[in-house]
């Protein structure tokens, strides 16, 4: 149990030499350290699942998951241990604000893969729908390339068939008129095979001949157009069957599927938000604990410990600064004195030289004014 407590205290980033002097603060920092540790564990599972969806390899997922978990653990430990209580709420809040922003960002990064795992079954079902939608779009694009040609071929075949149908209707009408004239059910109303019947029979035969002639011309074209349409449909099926049906389940697709599920279901939408808020609460809990807690004995001792070093540093740097300033002053004043003495000596030499020159000139009889 003691080893576990020591480990959690290490996770909290506390200074053991100071904490040992105030054991009443141990429980506080054991709790903070445990939160930081379990945040790192959750970060491991989050990264491992995310990377497994990318590499499909347990080995790679575990290796990168451990690296990510340790990185988040170390970062959380540094964020909490670097936060010092200043005594006032607003001062502490200003110190904690950038750390809170970073903690929220880490919580969002950690929570998303775990959300995907929690809703994995629903996401897998939605991925099937998304996959079918993607395939349908691909198939529609292929079909769109041939639809105009198929429609043109079928329209031409229907037009030619329409001509045949119209000519057939005319032929049937004339045949029916001839038969009605023959049996007396129509036409003149007299049952006979007389001249009227023969005239109508001639018209029917002529219509039959025209129909046969039209069929002989149109039918091959109809067959050709319908065969062209069938060939184009076969080409569509061939290209669709050759489409690459790659797996549809990457990280981006799963995130999109979760977003679609959130739009479809309020329950999933709010559950996703609450999971995210839960991770934000876990990630920011150590910072808020230090933010709202009054200054404890550990904080006072830590401040005193750091203040001693701060004052010692200021004293040392002040003494060094004074020493440098004194040396500069001595060097300056000595230099000034030496320069003044050198100037006086030079003046004396010049005056002596002038005196000798004037004296020589007087000895030669020159008048010096």
Q: pLDDT tens across 2-40, in order?
A: 788 888 888 888 888 887 888 888 888 888 888 888 888
Contact 39, 73 (CB under 8 A): yes
- Cβ neighbors of 249 (< 8 A, separation 6 or more) are 53, 124, 127
- According to DSSP, residue 191 is labeled -
> Phi and psi for 119 in degrees, rounded to 5?
-100, 30
Task: Please tell me the predicted confidence (pLDDT) of residue 240.
Answer: 82
The structure's pTM equals 0.54
Checking if the pLDDT of 264 tops 70, the result is: yes
- The DSSP-derived string for 311-366 is HHHHHHHHHHHHHHHHHHHHHHHHHHHHHHHHHHHHHHHHHHHHHHHHHHHHHTT-
Mean pLDDT to the nearest integer, 282-297: 75
Contact 301, 22 (CB under 8 A): yes
Contact 21, 14 (CB under 8 A): no
Q: Dump pLDDT digits (tens) for 73-115.
A: 888 888 777 777 665 666 667 777 877 888 788 788 878 888 8
């Amino acid at each position: 149990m003691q080893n576990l407590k020591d480990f959690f205290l290490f996770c909290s980033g506390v200074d053991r030499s100071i904490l040992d002097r105030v054991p009443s603060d141990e429980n506080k920092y054991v709790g903070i350290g445990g939160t930081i540790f379990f945040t790192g564990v959750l970060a491991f599972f989050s990264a491992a699942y995310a990377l497994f969806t990318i590499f499909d390899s347990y080995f790679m997922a575990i290796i990168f998951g451990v690296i990510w978990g340790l990185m988040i653990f170390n970062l959380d430990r540094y964020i909490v241990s670097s936060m010092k209580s200043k005594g006032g709420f607003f001062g502490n809040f200003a110190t904690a604000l950038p750390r809170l922003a970073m903690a929220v960002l880490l919580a969002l990064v950690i929570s998303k893969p775990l959300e995907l795992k929690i809703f994995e079954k629903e996401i897998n079902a939605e991925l099937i729908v998304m996959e079918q939608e993607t395939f349908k779009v691909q198939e529609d694009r292929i079909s769109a390339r041939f639809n105009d040609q198929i429609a043109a071929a079928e329209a031409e075949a229907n037009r030619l068939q329409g001509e045949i149908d119209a000519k057939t209707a005319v032929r049937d009408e004339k045949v029916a008129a001839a038969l009605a004239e023959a049996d007396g059910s129509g036409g003149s109303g007299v049952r006979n095979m007389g001249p009227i019947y023969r005239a109508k029979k001639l018209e029917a035969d002529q219509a039959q001949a025209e129909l046969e002639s039209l069929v002989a011309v149109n039918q091959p074209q109809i067959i050709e157009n319908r065969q062209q349409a069938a060939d184009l449909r076969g080409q569509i099926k061939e290209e669709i069957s050759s489409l690459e049906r790659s797996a549809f389940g990457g990280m981006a697709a799963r995130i999109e599927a979760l977003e679609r599920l959130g739009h479809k279901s309020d329950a999933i939408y709010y559950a996703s938000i609450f999971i995210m808020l839960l991770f934000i609460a876990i990630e920011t809990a150590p910072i808020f604990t230090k933010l709202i807690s009054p200054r404890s004995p550990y904080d006072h001792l830590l401040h005193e410990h750091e203040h001693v070093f701060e004052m010692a540093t200021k004293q040392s740097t002040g003494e060094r600064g004074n020493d440098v300033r004194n040396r500069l002053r001595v060097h300056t004043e000595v230099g000034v004195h030496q320069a003044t003495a050198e100037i006086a000596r030079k003046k004396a030499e010049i005056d002596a030289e002038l005196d000798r020159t004037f004296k020589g000139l007087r000895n030669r009889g020159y008048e010096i004014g």
